[in-house]
Structure 1
Amino acid sequence: MKRLFLITSIMLSACVTCHQTQAERPKPNYDETKIPKYTLPALLKTSSGKKVDSAELWWKVRRPEILSLFESEVYGKSPAPPKNMLFEVTSQKNDALNGKAIRKEVSVYFTGKKTGPRMDLLIYLPAKATKPVPVFMGLNFYGNHTIANDPEIKLSTQWMRANKDKGIVNNRATEKSRGASASRWAIEQILDRGYGLVAIYCGDIDPDYDDGFQNGVHPLYNQAGKSKPAPDEWGTIAAWAWGLSRALDYLETDAQVDHERVAVMGHSRLGKTSLWAGAQDQRFALVISNDSGCGGAALSRRRFGETLNVINNAFPHWFCDNFNKYIDKENDLPVDQHMLVALVAPRPVYVASAVEDRWADPKGEFLSVLHAEPVYKLLGTSGFGAKQMPKVNQPIKQRMGYHIRTGKHNVTDYDWQQYLDFADQHFQGS
């Protein structure tokens, strides 16, 4: 009861803080003529000023520099993988979805103990596959049971953000939650194209609220005598990305999955996460950002829509504490998000925007891809091949992909169609 009271008190405090922040938020800028003047940090110049003109210099010097800056100033440094993880297949059905799929649920115990923290993977694979299949991996917002209306999927008992439309009552899922987010997960289309899907509830790794990092995986790695991460250590987005890598650790043991062809995909804050996961972990063969915006694919220096001021105050747990130094001082940032996209090179990367999602700054997302292209070119790929934003619903697909579609902040069948086509382009024959 004491723990329940503590969590409730934290949540009430967090809600009050959130309301105060919303009332004090600066009015967002949606006028391109009011974008402040800025100069992006140089991608292909080392911290000592040396021009990066070879792949060797990129890999040995510049890439590690950029990665280190994102670790210390934006997302926070993450710990090494646990040494004693335990994987347990808790359910398997070989004729799910009317015989179309193999459905598996797998628990990943981070400490190797079933009494410790865990995350649950929901895996769909084509039932007729005769060899290991490539998969899309993604975090979800309200539990694995929300991506398909299937009573046999384990109903999550973890904390959830309040959302009546998703069947969340008192921050917990109910039976009404089943299938509530199915429209965002084109499971049958994915299976029909020969791919599998791996879904994970982000709250299994770290609950999405500012609790001082007392729940989730953070307490497992606190420094001696410390109750929270240091200013340059992992926030929640970094913890989610770390969890995606631990899921990939499991996939490397699953003979039904082609673990060398795993595409990591995320939407919104989970799109920020997929980019950071793909930047750090080069085992991810393809990286997809869907409407990820500020702290994701959008350039911070544009200050268009959501800004560092808003995101760090409304969601102080997402990034490391050092990121607060750059509130209203974006030009002081030693990195910007084009550099995050470049860290994925030379692997395929796809960034998607939506016309009505101005908060996420579609043009800023496009510009990050554009300004990351020199690294892709340096490493011998086809790059991006575009200088101007494409027309709506006219995707660009080379080694780097981008589209802006009609509609709002969401994941749609149109988005999945592009991601599947992009995966076909880069995975077939590999």
Structure 2
Amino acid sequence: MTTRFIILTLAVLAICLTIFGQIVPQKDPNYDENNVPKFDLPDPLTTFSGKKIKKSSEWIEERRPELLTFFSENVYGKVPCKIPIYQWKVVEQSGNALDGKACRKQVDLIFKKDNHTLRFNILMYLPNEAEKAPVFLGYNFYGNHTITNDTNILISDAWTRNDKSLGIDNHRLTEDSRGVRANRWPVEKIIDSGYGLATIFYCEVDPDRDDFSDGIHPFCYIEGQQCPASDEWGSISAWAWGLSRAMDYFEQDNDVDASKVIVFGHSRLGKTALWAGAQDERFSAVISNNSGCGGAALSKRRFGETIARINAAFPHWFCKNFRKYNDNEVALPVDQHELIALIAPRPVYVASAEKDLWADPRGEFLAAYFATPVYELFGKDGIPSQEMPPVNQPIHNTVAYHIRTGEHDVTDFDWEQYIKWADKQLLKK
């Protein structure tokens, strides 16, 4: 075998790996601003054909649809069929939750198609003093029973990720994990502020593993299909679909103000909240907490987690078409500031943590900043400067941002900001 033949073989292999999105990421992630590559950020107000968008009507009629289509077909994956709620059931309810402050509801949403059945449960706490409550809606990671010590909350039998530190083993939830994530969900503070809280265990909609044989995906398979097509929904898109079905339910629940539902998410579920809010304009506001790569952070910065890394570690989250941009961000004709812009003119909050470098706090901030021109088309205030605000000093405009002390988590500080901002944007205009 000649040297020339070996070189040609390796070159062909490299090309094939690039095409099919299988190149192994660089060994060490970049955490140095000096090593961020130079890149051209696409202008959200210029169409793919080069037309400048100057009016909000042009954004709505021309630019927004083409961006939404691109993200749908090349990043998160489109939902290939309609699956309406077959039935809903209130499986538990009490008007005396939280020492009489709140009504607690546990509602099953049931879906049926052909020989498939899926159920997921919405846990709701609604303030008794409100006739129709504005609501924070968000997924939780380890079951509804983990967000509080309330012994009335049902324990899901869905598959879950193991976490021995939280008392979760054998991919099953038990009484041992009740209340283990109460630190992330200040239920009483939310109720005392006049808001309701609704949460869903995300693995009931689609188990968080690289297996498309369960969850909601098989409902849309054609004969012989075993996984989504290259432009069809990954798990993030499936989870976003679930949030919209919860919204369907809220629209007929007389205890919920469906015009004031704020979709919230942390980490991978922050990515989900952004995508849900971009697609479904019924959500009145969107909160992204430490959502990072594929969420609020700019992909072209290649800082912390990158497209190649996230697709390698979690190949089921995004559609297969997204793998074309593994270590190839330069070819990506969009970036995450345009995902945020798709939410305009509705309020959006992007939050970072100082020590969460994997999620690229500066990339999250810059995405909010570069989404601002779209909001300005609608007369809304965004991020006024490319200079990041000091730690723990939030910007509470229609496009909001804060970076707080600490790590990758959801804290009381975060929730205090979200409540104050929601008051300003939705309740006290």
SS at match of 1:415: helix
What's the CA shift string for 1:98-135, capped at 9, x where partnerless?
Answer: 11111000000022899811110000001222x20100
Distance 1:287 1:26 in 2: 34
Aligned runs of 1:307-318 on 2, under 5 Å?
Answer: 307-318=306-317
Counterpart in the other structure of 1:101: 102
Report the residue type matching 1:391 in the other structure. Answer: P
Q: Is 1:194–2:194 an aligned residue pair?
A: yes
Residues 1:114 and 1:391: Cα distance change in structure 2 (over 3 Å): farther
Q: Is 1:239–2:238 an aligned residue pair?
A: yes
Report the residue type matching 2:79 in the other structure. Answer: S
Distance 2:192 2:26 in 1: 45
Aligned runs of 1:116-265 on 2, under 5 Å?
Answer: 116-129=117-130, 131-211=131-211, 213-265=212-264
Distance 2:383 2:25 in 1: 39
Distance 1:300 1:374 in 2: 19
Check conservation: 2:25, 2:327, Cα contact below 8 A: no
Check conservation: 2:351, 2:403, Cα contact below 8 A: yes
**TM-score normalized by the length of structure 2:** 0.92
Counterpart in the other structure of 2:348: 349
Aligned runs of 1:396-407 on 2, under 5 Å?
Answer: 396-407=395-406
Q: Which piece of structure 1 moves more, 113-122 or 65-74?
A: 113-122
What's the CA shift string for 1:315-357, capped at 9, x where partnerless?
Answer: 0000000000000000111210000000000000000000010
Report the residue type matching 1:70 in the other structure. Answer: F
Larger radius of gyration: 2
Aligned runs of 1:20-39 on 2, under 5 Å?
Answer: 26-39=27-40
SS at match of 1:317: coil
Check conservation: 2:39, 2:301, Cα contact below 8 A: yes
**1:26, distance to aligned residue in structure 2 (A):** 2.2
Counterpart in the other structure of 1:85: 86
Distance 2:88 2:73 in 1: 31
**1:82, distance to aligned residue in structure 2 (A):** 2.1
Distance 1:277 1:84 in 2: 17
Residues 1:39 and 1:220: Cα distance change in structure 2 (over 3 Å): same
**TM-score normalized by the length of structure 1:** 0.92
Check conservation: 2:340, 2:368, Cα contact below 8 A: yes
Distance 2:91 2:351 in 1: 35
Aligned runs of 1:262-341 on 2, under 5 Å?
Answer: 262-341=261-340
| Cα RMSD, aligned residues only | 1.6
Residues 1:80 and 1:196: Cα distance change in structure 2 (over 3 Å): farther
Distance 1:261 1:224 in 2: 40
Check conservation: 2:383, 2:397, Cα contact below 8 A: yes
Q: Is 1:359–2:358 an aligned residue pair?
A: yes
Distance 1:342 1:81 in 2: 26
What's the CA shift string for 1:207-243, capped at 9, x where partnerless?
Answer: 00111x1110000011333111100000000000000
What's the CA shift string for 1:181-224, capped at 9, x where partnerless?
Answer: 1100010110000000000000010000111x111000001133
Check conservation: 1:290, 1:351, Cα contact below 8 A: yes
SS at match of 1:363: helix
Check conservation: 1:223, 1:229, Cα contact below 8 A: no
Distance 1:115 1:143 in 2: 23
Percent identity reads 56
Q: Which piece of structure 1 moves more, 287-296 or 91-100?
A: 91-100
Aligned length: 407
Distance 2:289 2:276 in 1: 14
Counterpart in the other structure of 1:9: none
Residues 1:113 and 1:262: Cα distance change in structure 2 (over 3 Å): farther
Counterpart in the other structure of 2:16: none
Distance 1:112 1:256 in 2: 29
**1:47, distance to aligned residue in structure 2 (A):** 1.7
Check conservation: 2:25, 2:309, Cα contact below 8 A: no
Counterpart in the other structure of 1:61: 62
Distance 1:319 1:50 in 2: 29
Distance 1:374 1:115 in 2: 45
SS at match of 2:425: helix
**1:79, distance to aligned residue in structure 2 (A):** 3.8
Check conservation: 1:109, 1:119, Cα contact below 8 A: yes
**1:166, distance to aligned residue in structure 2 (A):** 1.8
Report the residue type matching 2:109 in the other structure. Answer: V
Distance 2:114 2:78 in 1: 25
SS at match of 2:260: strand
SS at match of 1:383: coil
Q: Which piece of structure 1 moves more, 47-56 or 190-199?
A: 47-56
Counterpart in the other structure of 2:43: 42
Distance 2:146 2:85 in 1: 30
Structure 1: tracts of 5 or more residues without a match: 1-20
Check conservation: 2:234, 2:316, Cα contact below 8 A: yes
**1:151, distance to aligned residue in structure 2 (A):** 1.6
SS at match of 2:415: helix
Distance 1:349 1:283 in 2: 14
Report the residue type matching 2:203 in the other structure. Answer: G
Distance 2:225 2:129 in 1: 51
**1:59, distance to aligned residue in structure 2 (A):** 0.6
Residues 1:85 and 1:351: Cα distance change in structure 2 (over 3 Å): same
Counterpart in the other structure of 2:11: none
Residues 1:152 and 1:221: Cα distance change in structure 2 (over 3 Å): same
